[in-house]
Amino acid sequence: MKLGFVLACTVVCAGLAMSAPVAEKRTDDPGASAEIALLRLNYERELIEASLAPVKEQITTLGALEKQFAADRDYDDAITARDERKRLQNELARLDKELLLLQTREQTLRASLLPERIKLPLDNASLSGLRLEGGAITGWSKVGASATWKLPDLPPGGYEVMLRYRCGTAEGGKLLIKETRFTLTTSIETTLKGPEERSAGTLKVSDGSGTLTLSAAALITDNLMQLLALELVPATR
């Protein structure tokens, strides 16, 4: 492969990679709605992501050529290949930082579009050892009994878990709340005045398209509670 051809390819790749920041400035347009700004960010991120593989391929090719030219004692071309490889490596590092910035802005915008509360309907839950009865999930009679929801493509971040439940005097125990990576444990206490809404704490969500599972971790007697509602409140609000 001729060095001139490779260098021509690197110019094309670099041009593609460097085209995204030009459009990126438009995301700061004060007249743009959050939805439009989010679309722009998605486009810019996808453009950068599409340029990464060609740039990496050219870095690998230039590295091989550098060794080949050096072995052939063609030191001028070896130096040229080395310099171009280093330039593309610097460009790749810049793209990585730019991509991280775009992802952070995208997450912030997505969070701003979330409702104040995200309801996870009881009838959408996949139940294991439990049953939906009278508008409540009940039957938490064994440790490990669980209810699992598919999360609605949430941006990663912290979410306060709000539980509305009824718990009799002889009921209660510990509830384990988990997503793809992180977990949260809360006590289920007796509700003396009928159903109550209580915060289980804030859970970090790493995969907003993954699952959220509530499972019985410990029982006082033969039932944990009757779960009446489950909602998530974005911690950024």
Q: For the chain, which residues make up each domain, given as ranges?
A: 3-112, 118-234
* Per-residue confidence (pLDDT) for residue 229, from 0 to 100: 97
Find the helix packing angle between 75-112 and 3-18, rounded to 10°. Answer: 20
Question: What is the pTM assigned to this prediction?
Answer: 0.63
Cβ atoms 171, 224 nearer than 8 A: yes
Q: What's the whole-number average pLDDT of the chain?
A: 86
Q: How many CB atoms lie within 10 A of CB 66?
A: 20
Average pLDDT of the residues in 219-224: 93
| Backbone φ, ψ for residue 26 (5° rounding) | -70, -20
* pLDDT tens per residue across span 21-69: 433 444 455 556 777 877 888 888 899 999 899 999 999 999 999 999 9
Which has more pLDDT, 218 or 20? 218
For residue 142, pLDDT over 80 is answered with: yes
pLDDT at 236: 65
Q: Choose among 147, 154, 79, 76: nearest CA to 117.
A: 154
The predicted structure's pLDDT at residue 31: 56
Judged against a pLDDT cut of 60, whether residue 217 lies above it is answered with: yes
Which fold, 118-234?
A: Jelly Rolls (2.60.120)
pLDDT at 100: 86
